Structure 1
Amino acid sequence: MLKKYQINNEIYKQMGDEWYVSDNYVALLRAEARARNPWVSKKIIELIKKEDVTVLDVGCGGGLLANDLAKMNYKVTGVDIHQEVLNVGKKYDSTGSVKYLYADAHALPFPDACFDVVCILDVLEHVDNYIQVLNECVRCLKNGGYIFYHTFNRNIFSLLFVIKGMEIFVKNTPKNLHVHHLFIKPKEIKEVFKELNCKSKEIKGLNPKIFSREFMKLILKGEIDEKFEFELTNSLIAGYIGYAEKLN
């Protein structure tokens, strides 16, 4: 039986400007954001035909998503449990419009049904009770609103490549950046959404472009080039992104 390690969420407090300038494991977050943020933005435009769209970014970190969405003139609120990362997000918010707040995803400080969109990307595999967190996200979502998520599948492939591969090949990767028992199978998250009266609408794999010069640089030097790319695929074997609609 695999030992259940404790997730190391404290590392994010020390990142500082590395959220936006680095060539180590943090750069993978930026590479993921370059692939997924446009997808999320496009879906919001397609799905919500109104002005003044309100968006909650749960576990916003240094604002990689929140600051991008603010440029689309959405009314964005970003929450996180680390004041240090909220300060980074605010520093890099070129619009000056994002409302950054300290909050625990297990108990969000918002009334019921107050956001058109809730995003929770790269967070569910970092929390003690992801079902409770999803329940809170859905509670804050308006009927007919949409929740976007990104997390990792729990299988032997993700153990070997997402966790062990990063520790071996990506320089300065801290121990327990991810822990395998907190990963979530797609069928599990779909079942939770069904229980929360939400309909799963779309789910895509989000994986590195392995046949690229930048991927080989990662393997050989342990560095993440700024041109390193992720891509949306049909394979859910590792990372995956999707969204669900809150029903009336």
Structure 2
Amino acid sequence: MLSVIPRQLGYSTRLFRHFATNAESLASPTVDPIEIEHFSKLSAQWWDEHGELKMLHRMNPPRVAWLKEKIAELRDLEGEPSSPSWKALGGLRILDIGCGGGLLSESLARLGASVTGVDAAASNIAIARIHQSHDHSLNNLVYRHAAVETLAVEGQQYDAVCAMEVLEHVDEPKNFLKSCAEVIKPGGHLFLSTISRTPFAHLLTIAIAENTLHLVSPGTHNYDKFIRPSELIKFFKDLGWLTGTYEDRPNAQEAEVRGIMYFPGNGDWQLSNRGSSWGEQCNYLFWARKPKTP
């Protein structure tokens, strides 16, 4: 497989092997080897905007816009000086967990953040490094073949942690989230993108996207791993991040849930209105802020 991937992308096998440290997934209690094997097979397609990962390419702009919006809102609330739009994330140290081929990592780095992208699949990191090597302006971006638990043990700390389309693919999601929390600085941010466990989500992501339209490979999603927004809110409330909820909604300065919906007519993803529970029935974004003091 290692010899096939670079040829499909137009890169030499020698260059690919230079960046690929090994083809094995990492030993971690939250890393599911079956999931890693599945996504390793897709490594060559990460930067093909018309391939199986095209939905992620289309989802990336609204995810980045939402992240920028949240950071800007909080800076404004706390009286911090605003940053120009093209460097909206300047001065932030951000971790992108499950970075894959680097779609989000590169976007965040171009907005001025110092970014570390990690992935449990070595072949994904290899592709990410190769793509980065063609843009010498991305010197504020590094990739590691690592799991978040490793960074937690190292004592790494970040201003923001992103885990986009990752939570529904891990084992032991509570332990995964605890590790994410450990590597966030006090007052820092967690950004998630995942899928709710609802009949509507099963219909869209598995019955239609996988089994009918074949937009993604069968087996990409496991319904039992989907997580409802209410479960995330409860987790972070129990963790001490949230002071309370009102009608099951968190304090807007502590956490936020935003649905994100795909419109096949124009092929775009769009954020739902804040507070729209209907928009959260399938794909959704989740943000929470770590308390500044324990």
Instruction: Give, in whole Å, the separation in 2 of the partners of 1:106 and 1:37.
Output: 25
Question: How far off its partner does 1:57 sit?
Answer: 0.7
Number of aligned residues: 228
Given that 1:8 and 1:175 are in contact with CA atoms closer than 8 Å, whether structure 2 keeps it comes out as no
Q: Which among 116, 122, 128 is matched to residue 89 of structure 1?
A: 128
Q: Which among 45, 67, 70 is matched to residue 43 of structure 1?
A: 70
Are the structure 2 counterparts of residues 7 and 189 from structure 1 closer, same or farther at C-alpha, using a change threshold of 3 Å?
farther
What is the TM-score of this pair, normalised by structure 2?
Answer: 0.72
Are the structure 2 counterparts of residues 192 and 167 from structure 1 closer, same or farther at C-alpha, using a change threshold of 3 Å?
same
Structure ranking higher on relative contact order (CA contacts 8 Å, 6+ apart): 1
Q: Which among 183, 189, 204 is matched to residue 161 of structure 1?
A: 204
Q: Give the RMSD, CA atoms, in angstroms.
A: 2.1
1:152-191 matched pairs, under 5 angstroms = 152-171=195-214, 173-191=216-234
Q: Which among 193, 196, 208 is matched to residue 150 of structure 1?
A: 193
SS in 1 for 2:148: coil
Q: Which among 45, 48, 58 is matched to residue 18 of structure 1?
A: 45
- Structure 1 portions without partners, runs of 5+: 1-5, 215-227
Equivalence for 1:225: none
The one-letter code of the counterpart of 2:36 is: N
| Aligned-pair identity (%) | 28
- Deviation digits for residues 64-115 of structure 1, max 9, x if unmatched? 1111000011110111101111122222233143110111234435544711
Instruction: Give, in whole Å, the separation in 2 of the partners of 1:105 and 1:128.
Output: 13
Q: Which protein has the larger Cα radius of gyration, Structure 1 or Structure 2?
A: 2
Are the structure 2 counterparts of residues 165 and 58 from structure 1 closer, same or farther at C-alpha, using a change threshold of 3 Å?
same
Equivalence for 2:173: 130
Runs ≥4 residues deviating over 6 A: none
Moved more, 168-177 or 189-198: 168-177
What is the TM-score of this pair, normalised by structure 1?
Answer: 0.84
The one-letter code of the counterpart of 2:67 is: V
Q: Which among 17, 34, 44 is matched to residue 61 of structure 2?
A: 34
Instruction: Give, in whole Å, the separation in 1 of the partners of 2:167 and 2:215.
Output: 23
- Structure 2 portions without partners, runs of 5+: 1-32, 82-89, 243-253
1:97-116 matched pairs, under 5 angstroms = 97-109=140-152, 111-112=154-155, 114-116=157-159
Question: How far off its partner does 1:43 sit?
Answer: 2.1
Given that 2:99 and 2:117 are in contact with CA atoms closer than 8 Å, whether structure 1 keeps it comes out as yes
Are the structure 2 counterparts of residues 125 and 133 from structure 1 closer, same or farther at C-alpha, using a change threshold of 3 Å?
same
SS in 1 for 2:180: helix
Equivalence for 2:27: none
Question: How far off its partner does 1:44 sit?
Answer: 2.4
